Amino acid sequence: MTINEAYRSGIDMLKSNRLTDAEFDARCLLEFALDIDPTRFFISRSELIDVKKAEYYFTLINRRMNGEPLQYILGKWEFMSNEFCVGKGVLIPRPETEKLVELAKEYLTDIEKPVVVDLCSGSGCIAISIAKLIPDATVYAVEKYDDAFCYLTKNISLNEVNNVVAVQGDLFDKELLRDVSADLIVSNPPYIRKADIETLSDEVKCEPVTALDGGEDGYDFYRFLSSYWLNEFLDKNGAVMVECAEDQGDYISELFSEYSEKNEIIYDFNGLQRIVTAYK
């Protein structure tokens, strides 16, 4: 079997399972199984595949057909041109979250030695990306759960950042980081309504429910973020930037308005509400 034949077979198998990105997924899995880069893939498609490697590739295809996220199978995923280890127990970095990092960079550029807190840090993709873009910043990455915290520390080492401090703790704990005054708080917290969890795709449900479940109405984390972190923890000239669902921006902005002078709702590349910013 040639590389191209394996590739086409993988596409057919994934399409039979109604996976919409069959070509992309099949190519990524084949490159992973063969340990080759995209350039090598395109120039070597007539080459024969070792039998054991072909078997391994189709094992990966079957895992994908069974609903396991591509990112978990590959074990790594790119975010802001940086690589992050991901797997069961941690939220997968998504491209729409990159806008949050870009806004953070823009805000922090003129602040000398800024202090940043990333709540619900997960893989650390936000915290680590900010730390690499703003080298004189100190970024506290707060994560509660053991599995996600393991990926967080692994990704700090992988990306060789020495200005990220991994903190295992619950953002609802008022003793957490008591001696730190932040110039910026960022977060991509759980915001799915509890009743909506069961309606999510099987693939999304592979991700930790603790990173998805925002309470009965989806706003549990935003309420505490507003009443405590924004009100008592943030520096008097600081800012908060949070990701949200497409129908949540107005309510979150209203929550934050009690403790901030200026709020703004930022839309993503699909024209949907995605980020709320608040400035004290």
Give, for all 280 residues of the chain, the pLDDT tens digit: 999 999 999 999 999 988 889 999 999 999 999 999 999 899 988 999 999 999 999 999 999 999 999 999 999 999 999 999 999 999 999 999 999 999 999 999 999 999 999 999 999 999 999 999 999 999 999 999 999 999 999 999 999 999 999 999 999 998 999 889 999 999 999 999 999 999 998 889 999 999 999 999 999 999 999 989 988 888 888 999 999 999 999 999 999 998 888 999 999 888 999 999 999 8
| H or E stretch at 115 | strand 115-119
47, 126: one domain: no
Asked if the structure places residue 103 within a domain, the reply is: yes
275, 186: one domain: yes
110, 194: one domain: yes
21, 143: one domain: no
pLDDT at 56 (0 to 100): 98
In terms of DSSP H, where are the helices of the chain? 3-16, 22-34, 38-43, 51-65, 70-74, 98-108, 125-133, 146-158, 220-224, 249-257
The CA-atom distances, in angstroms, between 233 and each of 40, 116, 177, 259 are 51, 12, 9, 11
Residue 121 near residue 152, CB atoms below 8 Å: yes
**Total domains in the fold of the chain:** 2
Domain enclosing residue 142, as ranges: 87-279
Asked if the structure places residue 75 within a domain, the reply is: no
Please enumerate in sequence order all residues whose Cβ is within 8 A of that of 149, keeping only pairs 6 or more positions apart, or say none.
143, 166, 168
pTM: 0.94
Asked if the structure places residue 121 within a domain, the reply is: yes
Supply the DSSP string of 210-246, one letter for each residue.
GGTB--SSS-HHHHHIIIIIIIIIEEEEEEEEEE--T
Residue 59 near residue 13, CB atoms below 8 Å: no
225, 106: one domain: yes
55, 107: one domain: no
Closest CA to 142 of 162, 119, 175, 114: 119
Can you tell me the distance from the alpha carbon of 227 to that of 134, in angstroms, rounded to the nearest whole number?
28
Asked if the structure places residue 194 within a domain, the reply is: yes
pLDDT at 276 (0 to 100): 97
pLDDT at 115 (0 to 100): 97
Can you tell me the distance from the alpha carbon of 237 to that of 234, in angstroms, rounded to the nearest whole number?
8
pLDDT at 45 (0 to 100): 86
109, 48: one domain: no
In this structure, what DSSP letter does residue 198 have? G
Can you tell me the distance from the alpha carbon of 225 to that of 191, in angstroms, rounded to the nearest whole number?
13
59, 103: one domain: no
Can you tell me the distance from the alpha carbon of 68 to that of 176, in angstroms, rounded to the nearest whole number?
35
Q: What is the dihedral of CA 28, 30, 32, 35, to 10 degrees?
A: -130
HSE-CB at 104 with a 13 A cutoff on CA atoms is 34
Asked if the structure places residue 111 within a domain, the reply is: yes
